Amino acid sequence: MKKIFAVLLLVVMVFGLSACGEEKETELVHIGDSVITQTDLDQYIEFAAFLQGVDLEQIPEDSLATIKQQMLEDMISLDCIEQYYAGKEAEILPDTVEEDLQSFLDEAKSTDTVSDYLTEKNISDETLTKFYYDQYYKDAYLKEVQAGMSDLEQQAQDYYTANKESFKVDEVTASHILLEDEALANEILDKIKAGADFAALAKEYSIDTGTKDNGGSLGSFGRGKMVTEFENAAFALEPGEVSDVVQTQYGYHIIKVTDKENRTKTYEDVRDDIISTIVNTEAQVKIQELESTMDIEYLTDDYAPKAK
């Protein structure tokens, strides 16, 4: 299975992690005979942060406490889903699951960044195996929930109608050349007007290190994403047009717009996203119902919810 690790890294849905080591763990929650420990939770947070490129050290303590609480709830949900499918593993897991799992483990260890992280955090094959299997159970549960929603198409159309304003697109695709000196900016603008290549000049002169190597490309962006002076100039341009020199707090910009879009996305454009939103919302309701049938015991007041 090629690039299976890279694919799984894109999964944003929750996943559980198992504790490593043999020392007595601080137990946080019992779900029937299953246990979630402090090490499980800590590794979950570390691994989730790694996948999403988040620096936990930059998160305030009160915010981190909230994240831990939510992540523990996610882990409980996944554990409940796995118990729900107990005895039905053959229906959930593909015939090639063991070979696919080994490919997943091998690829994880062959990627230097991932391998170094796993070593640093002492994350074992058992931990990765649980993460891998969790994806199948989670996906199976979402499919089961969706299959039980007979009026899903109508719900999606109603959602689109009720939220049509949120599907409006007002954005431009643009590049820029950023300079510290206004005189130099005007010289470069004259060169562009005389036919010089915008991207080549951006690579040579722009002081924006994040965009210069890509010819000054900023990609597409909507209103409210750039400082006011830059936004006003960019949205005033038509595709193919270049601005005059625009001064902002960052310096002097020359802006080129290559595309512009102002429309409302059609239902067909957003149908899949809407259905995913509705199904995930319904799945959360079903998971709460499932959890209410489970014997869940919080062993510390630090993580026990106020109302369960």
Q: Which two tokens stand for residue 298?
A: 């919080």
pLDDT at 101: 93
- Contact between residue 136 and residue 97 where contact means Cβ atoms under 8 Å apart: yes
pLDDT at 2: 38
pLDDT at 23: 54
Name the DSSP class of 25. P
- Contact between residue 240 and residue 260 where contact means Cβ atoms under 8 Å apart: no
Listed as ranges, residues in the chain with pLDDT below 70 are: 1-24, 306-308
As a whole number of angstroms, the distance between CA 252 and CA 45 comes to: 42
| CA–CA distances in Å: residue 119 to residues 18, 31, 112, 113 | 15, 29, 10, 10
pLDDT at 24: 65
pLDDT at 223: 94
Q: Which two tokens stand for residue 111?
A: 């990627």
- Contact between residue 131 and residue 15 where contact means Cβ atoms under 8 Å apart: yes
pTM, to two decimals: 0.72
pLDDT at 122: 78
Q: Which two tokens stand for residue 187?
A: 């010289």
pLDDT at 307: 55
> Closest Cα to residue 212, out of 254, 241, 245, 249?
254
Residues 172, 176, 178, 179: is their CA dihedral positive or negative?
negative
The residues, ordered by sequence, that sit 6+ positions from 224 with a Cβ below 8 Å of its Cβ are: 231
pLDDT at 220: 97
- Contact between residue 44 and residue 69 where contact means Cβ atoms under 8 Å apart: no
pLDDT at 292: 95
> What is the C-alpha end-to-end distance of the chain, expressed in Å?
41
Q: Which element (helix H / strand E) includes 220?
A: strand 217-222
